[in-house]
């Protein structure tokens, strides 16, 4: 700045002196004026170059200028570069933020003050059946036509969440969504969606479980209460008393079996996975189960002319690594079910087979009435019964297959069920090779 001022003063002095020498006082004034006009025009020209540079936003190619204009351009270039870096950084942060929201398992929709969609992630689009690009600036109630959602959106205060059906819901596949609105900014709204199908299903299972347990226990309790009232109020002979006490004992045993199975399920769900270092000898396991099955068969068909035919087979020396109590429960439940539902004179075959890939399977094949195909997917549900009246007559708690399924999951195996009406059933337990000791 000082050098520029000094140069201007020096130029004016030279021009004035030259003008005074040529034309006296008038020449002096003319020389000074010429220098001022020249300097002004030069600055206007440089200012125009600077304006053009800024207008085209070409920070990397500034005009070549010296003096104060060069310093000014250098400083502006540094400021513009810094602003450009800051803008790029903010854009990257925004992009990272949007990518994070895209990766969220929950749906996010940004609504303007009119309720139109400004942005949404793919999860929300999937939940609500929208197109993340095509449906931008569409009113959300035109796309989500659920009456519960429309009523919720129309209220002034959105406290809590509402549950609506997802767009992909069908008669075979239920989808439940949790939807909640939050206000932000200037009259804008944040719409959050969450898939709560599993939670709703678990809640329904809990209600069904409580209802089923209550029903299963209430029936024997009702019978026992009636017999107790009869014993208290009516004079009975010894034979009648023995008959009523026997029926009461049967109902008490039924409740005890139910409680025991419930405790087994609770222990299976709450305990750690079984060890892979505890061997269970199959021949010993099958010996105990065969004894139980033959006793159950004899008690169920006391008056039958032709008893059931039971065949058991297990390879000698083969062991399974796992919890003996759990394995016994899974295998005995399959065998006992076969005994209960196979009529007198029927054949029940229970055998262990080592597969070519070193896995081992236990199969129970019976000649009972069989099960219709529509029931097969639900057989392992707790308390699920194909025929409730027939199940009551045959005994059982309705938890056996659920217990077997849990045991197999804990041991890394699987339960397979094959059946056809009128042709019997086949239940198979398959254990991984890692748990087999040959």
C-alpha pair distances (Å), 427 with each of 25, 232, 392:
125, 47, 21
Candidate from 30-34, 42-46, 115-119, 333-337 with smallest mean pLDDT:
30-34
- CA torsion 277→281→284→289, rounded to 10°? 80
Q: Taking residues 176-194, what's their average pLDDT? A: 90
Q: How far is CA 111 from the centre of its chain?
A: 26
Q: Taking residues 410-431, what's their average pLDDT? A: 92
Q: How far is CA 408 from the centre of its chain?
A: 23
Side-chain-side CA neighbours of residue 176 (13 Å): 12
In the prediction, which pLDDT does 84 show? 82
Phi first, then psi, for residue 169 (nearest 5°) are -70, 145
- Among residues 360, 344, 353, the alpha carbon closest in space to that of 310 is found at 344
In the prediction, which pLDDT does 416 show? 94
Q: Is the pLDDT of residue 179 over 60?
A: yes
Per CATH, the number for 275-437 is 3.30.565.10
295-314 pLDDT, tens digit per residue, is 888 887 766 678 888 999 99
Q: Taking a C-beta distance cutoff of 8 angstroms, is the pair 207, 174 a contact?
A: no
Decide the pairing of beta strands 347-354 and 309-313. Answer: parallel
One CATH from 3.30.450.20, 3.30.499.10, 3.30.470.20, 3.40.50.300 for 105-195: 3.30.450.20
Q: Is the pLDDT of residue 83 over 90?
A: no
Q: Is the pLDDT of residue 392 over 60?
A: no
**pLDDT-based confidence at residue 17 (cuts at 50, 70, 90):** low
Q: How many Cβ atoms are within 10 Å of 131's Cβ, its own excluded?
A: 11
Phi first, then psi, for residue 199 (nearest 5°) are -65, -45
Higher-confidence residue of 422 and 276: namely 422
In the prediction, which pLDDT does 20 show? 47
* Residues sharing a CB contact under 8 Å with residue 306, sequence separation 6 or more, in sequence order: 344, 345
The yes/no answer on whether domain 203-271 falls in CATH 1.10.287.130 is yes
Higher-confidence residue of 245 and 10: namely 245
In the prediction, which pLDDT does 1 show? 46
**pLDDT-based confidence at residue 186 (cuts at 50, 70, 90):** confident
Q: Could you please report the per-residue DSSP string of 17-62?
A: HHHHHHHHHHHHHHHHHHHHHHHHHHHHHHHHHHHHHHHHT-TTSP
Higher-confidence residue of 53 and 318: namely 318
20-69 pLDDT, tens digit per residue, is 455 556 555 665 566 566 666 666 666 676 666 666 666 556 666 666 66
**pLDDT-based confidence at residue 2 (cuts at 50, 70, 90):** very low
Positive or negative torsion for Cα 117, 120, 126, 128: negative
Averaged pLDDT of the chain: 81
In the prediction, which pLDDT does 206 show? 78
Structural domain boundaries of the chain?
Answer: 2-99, 105-195, 203-271, 275-437
Alpha helices (runs of H) in 103-139, residue ranges in sequence order: 122-128
Same fold: 105-195 with 275-437: no
Q: Is the pLDDT of residue 408 over 50?
A: yes
Candidate from 150-159, 234-243, 358-367, 387-396 with smallest mean pLDDT:
387-396
**pLDDT-based confidence at residue 158 (cuts at 50, 70, 90):** confident
């Amino acid at each position: 700045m000082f050098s520029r001022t000094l140069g201007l003063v020096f130029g004016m002095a030279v021009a004035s002196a030259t003008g005074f020498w040529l034309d006296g006082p008038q020449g002096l004034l003319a020389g000074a004026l010429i220098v001022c006009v020249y300097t002004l025009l030069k600055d206007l020209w440089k200012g125009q170059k600077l304006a053009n540079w800024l207008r085209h936003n070409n920070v990397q190619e500034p005009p070549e200028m010296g003096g104060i204009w060069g310093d000014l351009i250098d400083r502006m270039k540094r400021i513009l570069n810094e602003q450009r870096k800051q803008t790029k950084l903010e854009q990257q942060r925004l992009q990272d933020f949007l990518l994070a929201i895209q990766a969220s398992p929950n749906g996010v929709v940004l609504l303007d003050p009119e309720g139109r969609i400004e942005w949404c992630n793919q999860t929300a689009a999937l939940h609500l059946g929208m197109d993340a690009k095509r449906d931008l600036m569409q009113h959300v109630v035109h796309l989500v036509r659920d009456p519960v959602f429309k009523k919720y959106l129309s209220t002034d205060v959105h406290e809590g969440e509402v549950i609506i059906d997802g767009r992909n819901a069908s008669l075979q596949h239920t989808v439940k969504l949790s939807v909640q609105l939050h206000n932000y900014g200037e009259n804008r709204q944040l719409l959050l969606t969450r898939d709560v199908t599993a939670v709703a299903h678990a809640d329904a299972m809990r209600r069904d479980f409580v209802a089923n347990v209550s029903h299963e226990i209430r029936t024997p309790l009702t019978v026992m209460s009636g017999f107790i009232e009869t014993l208290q109020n009516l004079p009975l002979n010894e034979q009648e008393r023995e008959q009523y006490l026997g029926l009461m004992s049967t109902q008490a045993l039924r409740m005890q079996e139910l409680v025991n199975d419930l405790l087994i399920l609770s222990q299976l769900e709450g305990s750690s996975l079984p060890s892979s270092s505890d061997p269970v000898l199959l021949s010993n396991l099958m010996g105990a189960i065969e004894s139980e099955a033959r006793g159950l068969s004899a008690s169920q068909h006391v008056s039958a002319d032709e008893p059931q035919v039971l065949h058991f087979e297990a390879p000698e020396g083969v062991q399974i690594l796992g919890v003996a109590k759990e394995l016994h429960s899974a295998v005995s439940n399959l065998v006992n079910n076969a005994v209960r539902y196979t009529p007198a004179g029927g054949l029940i075959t229970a055998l262990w087979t080592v597969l070519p890939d070193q896995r081992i399977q236990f199969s129970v094949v019976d000649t009972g009435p069989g099960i219709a195909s529509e029931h097969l997917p639900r057989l392992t549900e707790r308390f699920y019964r194909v025929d409730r009246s027939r199940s009551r007559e045959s005994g059982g708690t309705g938890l056996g297959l659920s217990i077997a399924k849990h045991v197999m999951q804990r041991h890394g195996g699987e339960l397979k069920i094959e059946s056809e009406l009128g042709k019997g059933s086949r239940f198979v337990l398959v254990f991984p090779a890692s748990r087999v000791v040959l």
